Structure 1
Amino acid sequence: MVVAPSISPAAQLSPTPSPSSRPTVTPEPETGGPQNDAAVALAQLASLPVVSGHSDAQYDRDRFGQRWLDVDRNGCDTRNDTLGRDLLDPVFKPGTNDCKVLSGLLIDPYDGQRVDFVSGWDTSVLVQIDHVVALAWSWRHGAEYWTDEERAAFANDPQNLVAASEATNQSKSDSGPSEWLPAVPELRCTYVENFVDVLHTYDLGIGAADRDAAQAVLQGC
Structure 2
Amino acid sequence: MLPFPASAHATATRRSRRRTLAALALAGAATLLVGCTPVGTQSTTPDGASSPEASQLVALTDEVEAASADGDGSTSFAADALDVLGKLDVAPRDEWEEFDREGSFGEGWQDPDGNGCDARNDALAVSMTDVDLNRDGCRVDTGVFVDPYSGDEIDFERGPDTSPLVQIDHVVALANAWRTGAKELSFVERVELSNDPMNLQATAGWVNDDKKSQDAANWLPPQESYHCTYVARQIVVKATYNLWVTQAEHDAMRDVLEGCA
User: What TM-score, normalized to structure 1?
Assistant: 0.82
Give every structure 1 segment of 4 or more consecutive aligned residues whose post-TM-superposition deviation is greater than 3 Å: 2-9
Deviation at 1:67?
2.1
Q: What is the one-letter code of the residue matched to 1:53?
A: R
Cα distance in 1 for partners of 2:237, 2:198 equals 7
Residue of structure 1 equivalent to 2:86: 46
Change (3 A) 1:80 1:56: closer
- Which structure's CA Rg is the greater one? 2
Residue of structure 1 equivalent to 2:121: 80
Cα distance in 2 for partners of 1:5, 1:172 equals 23
Q: Secondary structure at the match of 1:152?
A: helix
Q: Deviations over 1:71-102 (max 9, x none)?
A: 334321211111111112211123x2x31210
Change (3 A) 1:5 1:125: farther
34, 52, 61: which is aligned to 2:101? 61
Cα distance in 1 for partners of 2:78, 2:203 equals 22
* Structure 1 unaligned residues grouped into runs of 5+: 10-26, 30-34
102, 108, 112: which is aligned to 1:71? 112
Matched, 1:154 2:193: yes
Cα distance in 1 for partners of 2:186, 2:96 equals 17
- Matched-pair contact (CA < 8 Å) for 2:173–2:212: yes
- Matched-pair contact (CA < 8 Å) for 1:105–1:116: yes
Q: What is the one-letter code of the residue matched to 1:39?
A: A
Q: Deviations over 1:17-53 (max 9, x none)?
A: xxxxxxxxxx535xxxxx9711111001100001111
More helix by share: 2
Residue of structure 1 equivalent to 2:176: 137
Change (3 A) 1:72 1:185: closer
Cα distance in 1 for partners of 2:118, 2:232 equals 26
Identity of aligned residues (%): 41
Cα distance in 1 for partners of 2:66, 2:157 equals 21
Instruction: Count residues with an aligned counterpart.
Output: 197
Deviation at 1:202?
1.3
Deviation at 1:153?
1.0
Residue of structure 2 equivalent to 1:218: 257
Q: What is the one-letter code of the residue matched to 1:189?
A: C
Change (3 A) 1:191 1:36: farther
Change (3 A) 1:126 1:56: closer
Q: What is the one-letter code of the residue matched to 2:147?
A: D
- Matched-pair contact (CA < 8 Å) for 1:132–1:194: yes
* Structure 2 unaligned residues grouped into runs of 5+: 1-13, 15-61
- Matched-pair contact (CA < 8 Å) for 1:36–1:190: no
Q: Secondary structure at the match of 2:215?
A: coil
Q: Deviations over 1:94-126 (max 9, x none)?
A: 3x2x31210111111111111121011111111
- Matched-pair contact (CA < 8 Å) for 1:36–1:193: no
User: What TM-score, normalized to structure 2?
Assistant: 0.70
Q: What is the one-letter code of the residue matched to 1:216?
A: D
Q: Secondary structure at the match of 2:86?
A: helix
Cα distance in 1 for partners of 2:237, 2:228 equals 14
Q: Deviations over 1:168-200 (max 9, x none)?
A: 111111111110011122221111111111111
- Matched-pair contact (CA < 8 Å) for 2:148–2:223: no
